[in-house]
Structure 1
Amino acid sequence: MSDKPEVLFVCVHNAGRSQMAAALLDHHAQGRVVVRSAGSAPADAVNPAVAQAMTEIGLDLSKEVPKLLTAEAVQVADVVITMGCGDACPVFPGKRYLDWELDDPAGKSVDEVRPIRDEIDRRVQALLADLA
């Protein structure tokens, strides 16, 4: 059992928003938080425009692979943050759930992804301050 808070980011494809959020929280938390991300219907790969937008701020998503959301992942998380996956996310009592409504970066250019990345970054930093 970890004494660090565990945060799980969930979106449908785990190829954009949840990957950005996980990378940003992991970067800002510097090991103080266990970070995971998953999707209810994972894509084959991280969205290239998302990966490029993250590379621009020094975060490499090239080794990340979209992962399938499991009930176990939700069960071990202290905070579950959904990003437009709706009813596909399993709900367990006693967990803290947040829903971040964010534009889906799928099909968007890197210019269109940057503002989504920056909004996620703002929310991640606020979450980290709240967890501390």
Structure 2
Amino acid sequence: MTERAAVNSQDASTHPADQPVRGAEEEIAPVAEPAARTQTPAVLFVCVKNGGKSQMAAGLLRHDLAVAGKEGAVLVSSAGTQPGSKINALSAEVLQEIGADIGGETPAQLTPEAMREAGHVVVIGAEAVVEELDGVTLERWEIDEPSDRGIEGRERMELVRDDIHLRVRELRERLLG
């Protein structure tokens, strides 16, 4: 250390000329490591009328989260590209059988804002047309359609419910890790 530097460190002078020159690495604060994800994951389920399949998926995910003690761990919503006026009664009935309640839900219109807010959109079935948005993850579930095999009514709806339920469980695992 030079004599001047030794004197300056003892005097603790605040005059700029008396301050030691610092390297650039000392002037810039180190970049912090990226923080762990703290935002609650969200998913928006979409079908055409938002009265059956997308409502079933949303109801099943909410139900599964509640049963697992993780209610609210994922923000869940649903919408339709051409929403109907009410929930499909048979959809609500077959969900009620396993403890999921969608009876109080109402169909909602799909909007770009809802898609951006969720950040993850699941389109159920081939009929709903949803345009991609930057920053939004979009996936499509081509679910089994029992009516193509002549299966109708309650049996059809139970098969649709079970197919959607398997996919919802897999999605829950992906979202929560």
Which TM-score applies when normalising by structure 1? 0.89
Query: Given residue 23 of structure 1, which amino acid in structure 2 is its aligned partner?
Result: G
- Note if 1:8 corresponds to 2:44: yes
SS at match of 2:63: helix
Report the equivalent of 1:17.
53
- The verdict on how the C-alpha distance between 1:104 and 1:77 changes in structure 2, with shifts beyond 3 A counting, is farther
- Note if 1:38 corresponds to 2:74: no
Mean alpha-carbon deviation: is it higher for 13-22 or for 51-60?
Answer: 51-60
Following superposition of structure 1 onto structure 2, how do residues 47-86 of structure 1 map, counting pairs within 5 Å? 47-84=88-125
Q: What is the distance in 1 between the residues matched to 2:89 and 2:127?
A: 24
> Please, which of 27, 32, 36 is the counterpart of residue 63 of structure 2?
27
- Note if 1:94 corresponds to 2:135: yes
- The verdict on how the C-alpha distance between 1:125 and 1:43 changes in structure 2, with shifts beyond 3 A counting, is same
SS at match of 1:7: strand
Q: What is the distance in 1 between the residues matched to 2:136 and 2:108?
A: 21
Specify the structure having the higher radius of gyration (Cα). 2
Which TM-score applies when normalising by structure 2? 0.68
The answer as to whether partners of 1:16 and 1:105 remain within 8 angstroms in 2 is no
SS at match of 2:143: coil
SS at match of 1:118: helix
Aligned length: 130
CA offsets per residue over residues 21-45 of structure 1, 9 Å max, x none? Answer: 0011112222100000000101111
Q: Which has the higher contact order (CA 8 A, sep 6+)?
A: 1
Unaligned runs of 5+ in 2: 1-37, 66-70
